[in-house]
A and B are shown apart, each in its own frame.
Chain A
Amino acid sequence: QAVLTQPSSLSASPGASASLTCTLRSDINVGTSRIYWYQQKPGSPPQYLLRYKSDSDKQQGSGVPSRFSGSKDASANAGILVISGLQSEDEGDYYCMIWHNSASVFGGGTKLTVL
């Protein structure tokens, strides 16, 4: 089982909200994990969006709009990236990452389509 699992694709409408999930392997507790999120557009390197562990331990990337936010679903052992007020420019690939056993581990990525 992969350390981090992300749905391969997600579609949402302009102006709506999208929730991108990052499910941690069952032996890794989401409650104690800092989850990082990145956006990547074709032909460009990833861009750091934010880090979320809790409402008191979070960080927004420089210049990242506040409509990008992080949360967790403890019952699903998952981190969530919420994008509100979707815009066409939000289309791209989104990756989550955690630090686990002295290694940085990325999820497989979710391709977000805004249509």
Chain B
Amino acid sequence: DVQLVESGGALVQPGGSLRLSCEASGFTFSGYWMSWVRQGPGKGLEWLADISEDGSERNSGDSVKGRFTISRDNAKKSLYLQMNSLRVEDTAVYYCARSSGFNLWGQGTVVTVSA
């Protein structure tokens, strides 16, 4: 099956760090740009960052620039999001998605930032 499976979500205190993972299967992972998108409670979708097929190019949104870092390991067919200096407002469901029009999404992993 073609799928993306996120993991790593947790309850973390403000100022803390967390690393999310996304494992791909059923397609040629190394042939696609990949993205992270989040959705706060009762809110809309917010694109966070994307990364090129070989990891040489990255883009990120203003709300996470300097705090979150996207990376990938094509040998492991995995995408990562390193999140530092977490804030309460980072509480959300975090999705990984295939960037080709976001035509494939994972089920999401929940990150809760709270004291």
Instruction: Assess the B61–A103 pair: CB atoms within 8 A.
Output: yes
Q: How many A-B residue pairs have CB under 8 A?
A: 50
Q: Which of A62, A97, A104 has the most CB of B within 10 A?
A: A104
Partner of B103, one of A61, A93, A104, A108: A61
Hey, what's the 0/1 contact readout for B19-59 against A, CB within 8 Å counting as 1? 00000000000000001010000001111001000000001
Segment 31-77 of A: residues with Cβ below 8 Å from B: 36, 38, 40, 45-48, 51, 59, 61-62
Instruction: Assess the A36–B102 pair: CB atoms within 8 A.
Output: yes
Shortest CB distance B85–A (Å): 21
Partner of B107, one of A45, A62, A93, A107: A45
Instruction: Assess the A45–B95 pair: CB atoms within 8 A.
Output: yes
The verdict on A109 contacting chain B, using a C-beta distance below 8 Å, is yes
Q: How many residues of A contact B (CB 8 A)?
A: 22
Q: Are A109 and B45 also in contact (CB < 8 A) when A102-B59, A103-B59, A104-B50 are?
A: yes
A: which residues have CB within 8 A of B? Answer: 36, 38, 40, 45-48, 51, 59, 61-62, 93, 95, 97, 102-109
